[in-house]
Structure 1
């Protein structure tokens, strides 16, 4: 085999290996399934008090990249699915609604979380998104969306403060101070 063919085989082989490694890193590495005890209560912010309150939830499934208190990936890796017997109307009258919620995709093996389905339901007005916790980490909010059939979905997404900082812009008025270790 001449040097050119060897170089081509090496480059193609290395590219295939690199692509497979990247796919594994995006889909599997660092994610762990959480127990319901690790997830805790699904909470929404009450309109009147401004405080988070637990809602009834069953069949909770969740993943994150936080292992033994160490974050292996970004703050937006958290995803959860659950069911609630509470109806959307009651929830919308009691808890703070989030207008600009956009679900982030989950790894393909986490079957219960379909970001396309949730996103379409939000766009069509079939699902309602609520703020669960603001600034769970600086610039990241926890969002909960509920479908009419009682299925719920939880994810983290950047808020305006986070979007500004992550893009290198100054923070908008009303943002908390940046943590020193940020």
Structure 2
């Protein structure tokens, strides 16, 4: 009888831990981002170092303190990708990171296909928004926009253990 009780306790504990882990990964750490009108959607001008705001509306975003690459946002804009490409730096990113399934406006698979097919263009919004992480903005022909964070070359090296080198800025925690 004791063996059955211990087995039940182990099974229930395992299920509870699995459910808690799933909830924390998919829902638990995300928070809604408070919109800051005129500051939420910015792009880096060609040859510039300071991002500039573009016209946008219907902004919604989520973020999590647990990782710098969990930021996702959606918006609309009257600006066309070709018009923006004349003024702002393009990004080579063609595969956005997935968003949680409950964040309905951000469909990474559809956006990735639009980026590869030329129906959308990706722009650099800000380099090293956190060490090794760039903010990417994509705009589609129909005026929908998406924002996410992507590891840049320095970030990929830093997180996989490769020597970062002189071309990367110093890590903020390097002196601690």
**Normalised TM-score (structure 1):** 0.88
Alignment of 1:20-99 (within 5 A): 20-37=19-36, 40-65=39-64, 71=65, 73-99=66-92
SS in structure 2 of the partner of residue 64 of structure 1: strand
SS in structure 2 of the partner of residue 28 of structure 1: helix
SS in structure 2 of the partner of residue 59 of structure 1: strand
Aligned CA-pair RMSD:
1.9
**Normalised TM-score (structure 2):** 0.91
Runs of 4 or more off by more than 6 Å in structure 1? none
Cα displacement (A) at 1:26:
1.0
Query: Mind listing any 5+ residue stretches in structure 1 that lack a counterpart?
Result: 66-70
**Alignment counterpart, residue 162 of structure 2, candidates 169, 173, 176:** 169
Cα displacement (A) at 1:173:
4.1
Mean CA deviation greater in 172-181 or 132-141: 172-181
SS in structure 2 of the partner of residue 177 of structure 1: coil
Distance 1:27 1:38 in 2: 28
SS in structure 2 of the partner of residue 155 of structure 1: strand
- Show the counterpart of 1:10: 9
Alpha carbons of 1:37 and 1:137: their partners in 2 closer, same or farther (altered >3 Å)?
same
Distance 1:120 1:44 in 2: 22
